Amino acid sequence: MAKITQQEVRQILLITLSNIGDAILTTPVLEVLHQRFPKAAIDLVTDQRSSIVFNHCPYRGQIFHKDKKAGWQGLIQLIYQLRHTSYDLIVDLRTDGLAYLLKGQKRLTKWQAKPVGDHAVERHMAVIASLLSSSIPIPSCRIWLQTAQIQFARKQLSQLPRNRWLALGPGANWTPKIWPVPAFSTLVQAVKAYFDGIIFIGSLDDQERSQRIAADISLPWVDLCGRTDLLQAAAVLQQANVFVGNDSGLGHLAAAVGTPTFTVFGLGHPERYHPWGKYSHWQVAPNNKLQELSGEMIASQVIKLATYSQKTYSGA
């Protein structure tokens, strides 16, 4: 496809993914589209549950929701809404063919892309490779926060001493992805000299696990499970020195706000779905069974992340 100029592109549609973590992994494409076409309005197709990721992006246009549960009627209504605009460029990071049902001068989809890496971010970037004059570094993932969320986080964490904090995400959306409570407790015991307090973050369903972990640790803690929305959770994670959690959206949130992350994987595909970032580390459990991964096995790696993070915050 011939290169297109900034003058040719004034209206872009980016079709993103549904799950929160997956949506976060599409933000590097959004960043590059904005850099390539800084004067273009970028409309988004998202899922209702993940659209909050893009709420405060300063260069997005309209947000349209794709509801899988609405069936054909919902899809027809979405197409009707989108066909009010003739887009100069449609970038489709899904694979359901929606881009070909809309008005667009140029379309880029996964069907045309040639991935240059295993990770989801690399596969997304391959979709827009023809727009770029040369290979460029892939940006970090992004979450756009406002003052209200940052103030919320600082207020919730004000009861913790000093500022060396370890955030823990004890839950996930599938039981085989959840690291056992004793492993979290053992990890905290092994790394407690490097932190002043513990932050528990997650959904209300995670509160029972967080309370069990808290019962076995000696550090001060605050339990925010079920007490934040997605952007408030991101602001809380931004205040932490390190995040440790299961294979869930929280790891992607932490990486997107620049917090070093460590993700434990049992079943899953870490080579494709680990949080994207220079300081995003992970460990696959022996035999893909999280009950065989102990806290001691990852303690030294978490300590390295803590040491890096504390040097960064102190300006060393």
Per-residue pLDDT of the chain (316 residues; tens, 9 = 90+): 456 666 679 999 999 999 999 999 999 999 999 999 999 999 999 999 899 999 999 999 999 999 888 888 999 999 999 999 999 999 999 977 899 999 999 999 998 888 788 999 999 999 999 998 777 889 999 999 999 999 999 999 999 998 899 999 999 999 999 999 999 999 999 999 999 999 999 999 999 999 999 999 999 999 999 999 999 999 999 999 999 999 999 999 999 999 999 999 998 899 999 999 889 999 999 999 999 999 999 999 999 999 987 655 554 4
**Fold matches, 6-131 and 147-314:** yes
Architecture of the 6-131 domain: 3-Layer(aba) Sandwich (3.40)
Q: Is the pTM of this model over 0.95?
A: no
Domain ranges of the chain: 6-131, 147-314
Question: Looking at the domain that runs over 147-314, which CATH code has it been given?
Answer: 3.40.50.2000
DSSP string, the chain: -----GGG-SEEEEE--SSHHHHHTTHHHHHHHHHHSTTSEEEEEE-TTTGGGGTT-TTEEEEEE--GGGHHHHHHHHHHHHTTS-EEEEEE-SSS-GGGGS-EEEEEEGGG---SSSSHHHHHHHHTGGG-SS--PPPPP-----HHHHHHHHHHHTTSSSS-EEEEE---SSGGGPPPHHHHHHHHHHHGGG-SEEEE-S-GGGHHHHHHHHTT--S-EEE-TTS--HHHHHHHHHH-SEEEEESSHHHHHHHHTT--EEEEESSS-HHHHSPPSTTEEEEEPGGG-GGG--HHHHHHHHHHHHHHHHHHHHT-
